[in-house]
Amino acid sequence: MSEREFTLIDGERVTRVAARVDGSHVRIAPADLEHAFGWTLKPQGLCKDDLCITLRERRGLVAQGGIDLAVFAQTTGLPLALDVAEGVAVLGESAAARGSRLASLEAPDFTLPDLAGQLHTLSSHRGKKVLLIAYASW
């Protein structure tokens, strides 16, 4: 088992933490889980904002004081892309949450740059119809 720096990516939030690597297992401190991903381990389970996921047992999730990233992802239903050798992990949005948000029919807000680097936000166009067109040079 070794301790090494790990980069955790959650959308625009990029956090560098000290992780314990044990073969293919990557464990991080509970405080780092909260800092990097916004999830807290409480007596009632794994919690984020108003949501708490009850844990039937903690043995897989918590070992040697650290939270196993893969088990955390499985427990919360969040997609995790992990590269142990490179020391990087990306946490994505769950299909349930993404689908639920789209099914609400509220167009997700976003901000992107134009060619000049000027930022544009979708919600600044409220009051007008917007035709959002995605294309590519490919």
Partner 1 sequence: MALDRCADDARPYIERARPTHPSLIDTQHVVADLYAMINVPTMVWIDEAGLIVRPNDAQFGTDTFTQFHGKHSAPFLAAVRAWVTGQRGALAPAQVRSQQLLPTPDQQRARAEFTLAWHLHQQGRLAAAERHFERAGKLSPHDWTIRRGSMPIRGKNPMGPEFFELYKEWQAAGSPTYPTEPIDTQK
Question: Footprint of partner 1 on this chain (CB under 8 A)?
Answer: 9, 11, 77, 79-83, 85-86, 88-95, 98-99, 102-103, 105-110, 112-115, 120, 122-123, 126-138
- In terms of CB distance, is 38 or 99 closer to partner 1? 99
Q: How far is the CB of 15 from partner 1 (least distance, A)?
A: 13
Q: How far is the CB of 23 from partner 1 (least distance, A)?
A: 18
Q: What are φ and ψ of residue 23, in 5° steps?
A: 70, -120
For the record, the structure tokens of 109 come out as 């807000």
For partner 1, the closer of residues 18 and 97 by Cβ is: 97
Would you state the structure tokens that stand for residue 51, as one six-digit string? 């949501």
Mark 46-83 as b/e (b = at least 16 C-beta within 10 Å): bbeeeeeeebeeeeebbeeebbbbbbbbebbebebebe
Answer for the pair 17, 29: CB distance below 8 angstroms, yes or no.
yes
Nearer to partner 1, 58 or 92 (CB): 92
Taking the least distance from each CB to partner 1, the nearer of 1 and 112 is: 112
